[in-house]
Amino acid sequence: MALADRRVGVAVDFSPCSKEALKWAVDNVVRDGDHLILVNVQKEGQYEGGETQLWEATGSPFIPLSEFSDAAISKKYGIKHDPETLDLLNTLAKQKEVVIVVKTYWGDPREKILEAIDNIPLSCLIIGNRGLSKLKRVIMGSVSNHVVSNATCPVTVVKHAHEG
């Protein structure tokens, strides 16, 4: 796949905070001519088809938005079909000249997102932050903190706005 000069990555798990990060990227970063690459990391062992085992080391091939919009294809990659996100992406594709693809990895999100940054390679990455308490961050480790500390490209963390 030939990639444009700017490859904007957004880490997505389709949680509310990753959707906020995607919306922020669309509103503030993505422009005509960009490639928007959604980086999705699934837990290991959640395979629908045998071919996904071949992609465990390198991630899936790039999945064009038109294919990703198909619920059966999303399921094949272990991704929950999310109409809200698909609507946002399809609207973006119509309004701007942006190529949108999804790349799925399996394993530890901290490591796989860093691999995606280097292997795609990404020009920048936008990632959501769940706003864990300090104690939970210490125990669980924050994916966004790890990525910010170790990434080889600029990383923007979009804080999750808590409903109050």
The domains of the chain are located at 7-126+151-159
93 exposure class (CB count in 10 Å sphere: 0-12, 13-18, 19+): middle
Q: What class, spelled out in words, does domain 7-126+151-159 have in CATH?
A: alpha beta
Cα distance between the two ends of the chain: 44
Per-chain mean pLDDT for the chain: 85
**What is the C-alpha to C-alpha distance for residues 111 and 59, in angstroms, rounded to an integer?**
12
The length of the chain, given as a count of residues: 164
pTM (2 d.p.) = 0.86
What letter does residue 157 receive in the DSSP assignment?
E
More confident: 110 or 45: 110
Contact criterion met (CB below 8 Å) for 75 and 48: yes
Which regions of 6-139 does DSSP assign to beta strands (E)? Answer: 7-11, 35-42, 63-64, 99-106, 124-129
Contact at 8 Å (CB) between 9 and 102?
no
pLDDT at 164 > cutoff 80: no
Residues 120-138 have pLDDT tens digits of 999 999 999 876 656 655 5
